[in-house]
Amino acid sequence: MPPAIARLAKLQVLSAYIIGVTHESSISELKPLKKLKVLALDFLENVLQVQEAKDAILNDKHDLVSLSYQWNTYVENAEQVLESLQPSDGLQNLQIISYPGAKLPQWMTWREPYLKSLLHIKLFNMKACQKLPPLGQLPLLKTAEINGMSAVSIIDDAFYGDNGTFPSLEKLILSHMHNLEIWHHSERKDMFPRLCELTLIHCPKFEALCMELKHLQKLSLSMNNWLLYSRRGSFNGVARSVRSISLSLCQELTVSDGCKGLLELRHIQELEVCSCPELTSLPNGMRYLVSLRSLRVENCVRLESLPNWLQSFPCLTSLRMSDCPVLRSIPKGLRRRSDIQVTLEGCSNCYW
């Protein structure tokens, strides 16, 4: 970093504070910058002395609303450093990237929540962390994205914390959770009262979503996990609520699949199928999704045709096909229905 940055006493935005390997500067020089509102700390592995982190006194920066921590390699003192870089309790946006520690800092796990003003949190590539943080205790949290916590295999009450219900959470993304198997049901009342969108990305071992999410509207699944789609009861927790589902990047999904896991989702009105390279037509199990109003199929490079049973869907009003280069035709019954709007893009071989 430029020398004497500590003299910029009125600095409010420091979007990339690079911690160097030399001893000429130290993270402790952030101490006098009390007006900071946005701060991103990078190369935290270069903080060799925990006392340097303590001397930055981040919890004294009461204007700080957005904070990012990032490591780029493994260091043994990561847990102590992150503990010492406790922010002020007015923080609204928090991002932790490639943290190599196995334990989260106490200021994230206290029984009485410390980050009561937090609105958004992103936790990326934290492979050694053994447990999810108790985010359910945070009263204002609206969005949460958790990526790469490979040591976590289940979601249970530890995620909610003591008496936590995620009262304000609207959007949750679980990504690259390679050992996550199940989201257990909780007996707590009034859980996730505002959660309307859930996204699961590359969770290859995930078997069942048992947690009841009464207000969930949209479910997005981007992963190669045939077991999840094919097993009955996989989506019991959202069967009554979800109205929109997106399936993408499932290389194992084929036309012969019964998709038994989707049978509980008979109330869905919007379906999106994207980037499923083995599909030559829609899976047979989707024929029971008769409440469907909108269907979009995108980038399915081997898709040759649409099934005839699709023409009998009474509520279907929109069909959009894009980037399906070998699609040949649309069923005659669909072409005769004036109540369906059909859109074709990048389907040069399709007869309409």
pLDDT tens readout for residues 186-218: 888 899 999 999 999 999 999 889 899 999 999
- pTM exceeds 0.75, yes or no: yes
Q: Which amino acid is at 45?
A: E
CATH code, domain carrying 327: 3.80.10.10
CB 124 within 8 A of CB 100: no
Measured in whole angstroms, the distance separating CA 135 from the mean position of its chain's CA atoms is: 14
Q: Is beta strand 143-147 parallel, antiparallel or unpaired with respect to 171-175? A: parallel
Per cent of the chain over pLDDT 90 is 68
Element (H, E) at 175: strand 171-175
Does 344 map to a domain?
Answer: yes
Q: Is residue 314 part of a domain?
A: yes
Q: Within a domain: residue 145?
A: no
Over the chain, what is the mean pLDDT?
91
The answer to whether position 191 is within a domain reads no
Backbone angles phi, psi at 314, to 5 degrees: -70, -25
What is the Cα–Cα distance from 174 to 213, expressed in whole angstroms?
A: 15
Considering the domain boundaries, does residue 214 fall inside one?
no
Beta strands in 223-326 (DSSP E): 244-248, 270-274, 294-298, 318-322
For residue 154, the cross-strand partners are: 182
- The total number of residues shown for the chain amounts to 352
Name the phi and psi angles at 207, rounded to 5.
-110, -35
Q: What is the pLDDT of residues 284-332, one digit of tens each?
A: 888 888 899 999 999 999 999 899 999 989 999 999 999 999 998 888 8
- 70/158: higher pLDDT: 70
Q: How far apart are CA 351 and CA 171, in angstroms?
A: 40
For 35-53, write each residue's pLDDT tens digit.
999 999 999 999 999 999 9
* Cβ 310 vs Cβ 286: under 8 Å: no
Tokens standing for residue 210: 């048992």
Write out pLDDT tens, residues 130-148: 889 999 999 999 999 999 9
Neighbours of 19 (CB within 10 A): 19
How many other CB atoms are there within 10 angstroms of residue 276's CB atom? Answer: 24
Q: Which two tokens stand for residue 328?
A: 């040949």
- What was the pLDDT predicted at 336? 84
Binned at pLDDT 50, 70 and 90, residue 22 comes out as confident
Q: How many CB atoms lie within 10 A of CB 110?
A: 14
When divided into structural domains, the chain yields a total of: 1
| HSE toward the beta carbon, residue 70, CA cutoff 13 A | 14
Two structure tokens written together for 257: 């699949």
What gap in Å lies between CA 193 and CA 11, rounded to an integer?
39
The percent of residues above 70 in pLDDT, for the chain, comes to 99
- The predicted model gives 65-87 an average pLDDT of 96
Kindly state whether residue 130 falls inside one of the protein's structural domains: no
- Closest Cα to residue 185, out of 235, 133, 134, 243? 235
What is the pLDDT at residue 23?
64
Note the pLDDT of residue 24: 66
Question: What is the predicted pLDDT for the residue at 163?
Answer: 86
- The stretch 153-161 carries a mean pLDDT of 92
Is residue 291, in this structure, part of any structural domain at all? yes
Binning pLDDT at 50, 70 and 90, where does residue 352 land?
low
Tell me, yes or no, whether 222 lies in a domain.
Answer: no
Containing domain of residue 312, as a range?
Answer: 230-240+247-352
Virtual torsion, Cα 32, 36, 41, 46, nearest 10 deg: 0
Separation of CA 177 from chain center: 10
